[in-house]
Amino acid sequence: MAYSQNSSFCSVTNTDCSLSSVILEKFKDLNVDKAKACRIDYKNSLVLCCSNCNVILGDSHGICGESVDLNSVICFKVTEDVLIKGNQKICLEGPLANCLYSYLQCSGCLLVVGAALQATPPNLSALRDFFLLQKDRINCYNMKNSTMVAGTTLNFELKPMGELTKLKQELESQMKRLDVLKALLSQEKIQRGGVDKLHCKSKRL
């Protein structure tokens, strides 16, 4: 889902009750499939905003979980107001050690709101090509009850992600078993080949 860039949200305060209607109008302007849009309940959405200027960075429909270690919300889509800073950086220490990444900036105030990982060690490979929004740099506006809360107060961990992780672990375990079976079969084949050669030699003798 892509939103058109609009800095007017910078002037909207957290207590402004008209924010819901403003956001709903933005949703109506989106260039999305109408049939799909009818199935999405935007009135119950959670909107991710810059904690400094309230520019909209994404919504709950683009969230696929959170990384507790990185204190970040994992998003597979964000708005056009999230700018990817061109210069890639390498982190040498901390939770992003040995990662190549680019900063994510808010277009309204240029606050660094997260990172996009391009290259990672194996333990962070699942986060490549996603947008990581730092929880302490975002506020979350609840469309249902018109309230704004700090991102750090919410838990974005989704059960499906846990189930997928479990499934991935099971598949990896099965793959390891297959590798062991292949190695055993290969070893048995080599041994059989040796026995056959000995058998042929004994026949010749």
Q: What is the DSSP string of 12-56?
A: --TT-TTHHHHHHHHHHTS---HHHHHH--GGG-EEEEETTT--E
Is the model more confident about 109 or about 177? 109
Return the closest-CA partner of residue 3 out of 21, 24, 27, 38. 27
* Nearest Cα residue to 101 out of 80, 131, 72, 126: 131
The yes-or-no verdict on residue 13 having pLDDT over 90 is: no
List residues bridging with 47 in a β-sheet. Answer: 59, 141
In this predicted structure, the answer to whether residue 102 has a pLDDT above a threshold of 60 is yes
Among 39-53, 62-76, 185-199, where is mean pLDDT lowest? 185-199
Is the pLDDT at 141 greater than 70? The verdict is yes
The DSSP bridge pattern shows strands 131-134 and 112-119 to be antiparallel
How distant is the alpha carbon of residue 173 from its chain centre?
Answer: 24
Q: How many whole angstroms from its chain centre is CA 113?
A: 14
Which helix (H) or strand (E) element contains residue 114?
A: strand 112-119
Distance CA 46, CA 103 (A): 23
Q: Yes or no: say if 108 and 55 are a contact pair by the CB < 8 Å rule.
A: yes
pLDDT grade for 82, boundaries at 50, 70 and 90: very high
For the chain, the average pLDDT equals 75
When pLDDT is cut at 50, 70 and 90, the band that residue 86 belongs to is confident
